[in-house]
Amino acid sequence: MYDDKKNQGIRLATIILDTYLYGEVDKFDLATRFNVSERTIYRDLGSLSLIIEHKGNSKYGFSTVVEYYKMISFFGLNQYLPEINQLFLKSIPNSIKNESVSIEFNGIEHKIKNYLKKHYDVIRYAIENKRKCIILYKGKNRIVDPYKLTCHNTIWYLKATDKEKLKSFSLNRIEWLDITKDTFSPNESVKKMLSESKDPWASNENFNVLILISTSISHYFKRRDILPNQLIISENIGSLTISCSAMSEKQILPLIQYWLPNIKILEPEWLKLKFEENLRNYINQL
């Protein structure tokens, strides 16, 4: 017995898959392939109108809305935009044409095009094919297992393990890179850590920091996460206690220094002493 609903489900799934694989589908080819009328295929395409649209002649492809959404999500811009629904995505062309909306990102590295052109495709190939890499980084040769490319605040990083330690290498500081013939088996715990963390400093050697924030600046820390893996522990009259985690003193100390004198390290003691030492060295140079 002919099951139209079942066969329609197969047709719809095939249309979506073929559009993904080949970029577009032809309604006449689909009718011939499934041995159905053009009207039936037209109804199928109509039921997929949220993601499939007419591209001219008999061709259909993913809608502009879908392509916009994929691009916005890939570049991580969704966190800076209002709710991403179909109406918002469709408004983008008119917003650009009428110049009614302006979005600017400051602080982009000057040499970003140069080092992305030099390293991006090579590193992506190494990651996808699980190939070890040799990099010259800060004047030192290292053999690393590449796991992920990530862009954080417009700065690109390679997340890789160096002697089984997860590290973040800034692409603009990689002086030289080559892919070896050797492959590696990705560590599942490292993959899990990277999938759960949006921080480019993600490491298997993180340490916790406890910080006291003055009320005069506390609203900045409540409005958004300023410190890595920030968590508000308590709020009292005159202060805010926050915990965070870091993998390097270089990651956390400049952030704390920026908010002086309204911020104080409570724990760990060694980081507090290091911070005080840095301040004394700076004052002695004046």
Q: What is the mean pLDDT of residues 258-276?
A: 92
- pLDDT of the residue at 1: 38
Q: What percent of the chain has pLDDT over 70?
A: 91
Lowest mean pLDDT of 151-160, 190-199, 206-215, 221-230, name the range.
190-199
- pLDDT of the residue at 198: 65
Q: Is residue 103 part of a domain?
A: no
Residue carrying structure tokens 């893996």: 229
Same domain, 54 and 70: no
Q: What is the mean pLDDT of residues 29-37?
A: 91
Q: Is residue 202 part of a domain?
A: no
Same domain, 227 and 256: yes
Residue 174: give its domain's CATH number: 2.30.30
Task: Please give the tally of structural domains in the chain.
Answer: 4
Lowest mean pLDDT of 39-53, 67-81, 115-129, name the range.
67-81
The whole-model pTM stands at 0.61
Domain extent, residue 12, equals 4-62
Same domain, 39 and 85: no
pLDDT tens-place string over residues 200-255: 666 666 789 999 999 999 999 998 888 888 899 998 888 899 999 887 788 889 88
Residue 236: give its domain's CATH number: 3.30.70
Lowest mean pLDDT of 58-67, 82-91, 121-130, 233-242, name the range.
82-91
Same domain, 18 and 86: no
Same domain, 186 and 224: no
Q: Among residues 196, 226, 249, which one ends one of the domains?
A: 196
